[in-house]
């Protein structure tokens, strides 16, 4: 079970050497209260301006775990090169997004209502948790797409370092060990860690590609197409967007 005692703040917990497993909602709540600020492209800001004074540096949303962990490594290098210290945080998507561009998953054609085929398995999550920990990240969580079983997988992978298992872990066996009593022998043969770590899951969608072509239409920050308005989008404006989208596919 979790350590007993009064509740501590996130910075106090990280300063004490604790490994925190969280979710994106926590960061958004802090942002609303003025404790978190989103700025320019974060890796560049961390590497070029580490003296700015941030106590926790990290990545939240828009990209998958692999991309986020690699990015935090770059940020960590920049901070350490400047002779400074910080805590590191990673809260990626629960989707595989190797094909997205610099704006992340919002440019993928599946965003936001058809992303489920990209969802990470619980075994993917355990791999992410281990790689994040090995990279020196101590706030390890997730954002869009994360489900309770994903967060539990993070906590179970890091149980040896944290000193306790998450609630409910006693209800199932680790790494498929609950399959040891399955009626089918080929399923019983899956009751081992190396099977699930090496598995390459099939999508079951014979006519679907493995990756997509991001949209984005070649526009970035400051372009007129990205300007927002207070009024609802008119039918004429929507038609223009639909026509443009049809031409790009």
Binding residue per annotation — 143?
yes
Domains detected in the chain? 10-222 (3.20.20.330)
Binding residue per annotation — 100?
no
Q: What is the DSSP string of 111-165?
A: TTTS-GGGBPPHHHHHHHHHHHHHTT--EEEE-TT--HHHHHHHHHHTHHHHTSP
Average pLDDT over residues 197-208: 90
| pLDDT tens string 130-180 | 999 999 999 999 999 999 999 999 999 999 999 999 888 888 888 888 899
- Of residues 157 and 27, more confidence is placed in 157
- Of residues 186 and 30, more confidence is placed in 186
168: region left, alpha or beta (phi > 0 left; psi from -120 to 50 alpha): left
Binding residue per annotation — 102?
no
pLDDT at 67 over 80: yes
């Amino acid at each position: 079970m979790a350590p007993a005692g009064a509740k501590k703040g996130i910075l106090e917990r990280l300063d004490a050497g604790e490994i925190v497993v969280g979710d994106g909602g926590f960061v958004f709540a802090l942002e609303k209260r003025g404790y978190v600020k989103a700025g320019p492209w974060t890796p560049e800001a961390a590497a070029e301006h580490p003296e700015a004074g941030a106590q926790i540096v990290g990545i939240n949303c828009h990209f998958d775990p692999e991309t986020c962990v690699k990015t935090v490594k770059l940020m960590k290098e920049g901070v350490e090169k400047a002779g400074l210290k910080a805590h590191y945080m990673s809260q990626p998507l629960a989707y595989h997004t190797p094909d997205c561009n610099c704006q992340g998953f919002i440019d993928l054609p599946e965003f936001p209502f058809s992303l489920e085929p990209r969802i990470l398995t619980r075994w993917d999550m355990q791999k992410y948790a281990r790689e994040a920990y090995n990279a020196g990240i101590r706030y390890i969580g997730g954002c869009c797409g994360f489900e309770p079983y994903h967060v539990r997988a993070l906590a179970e992978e890091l149980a040896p370092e944290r000193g306790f298992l998450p609630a409910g872990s006693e209800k199932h066996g680790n790494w498929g060990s609950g399959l040891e009593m399955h009626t089918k022998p080929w399923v019983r043969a899956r009751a081992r860690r190396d099977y699930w770590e090496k598995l390459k899951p099939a999508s079951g969608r014979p006519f679907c590609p493995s990756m997509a072509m991001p949209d984005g239409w070649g526009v970035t920050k400051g372009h007129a197409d990205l300007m927002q308005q207070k009024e609802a989008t008119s039918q004429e404006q929507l038609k223009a967007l639909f026509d443009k989208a049809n031409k790009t596919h």
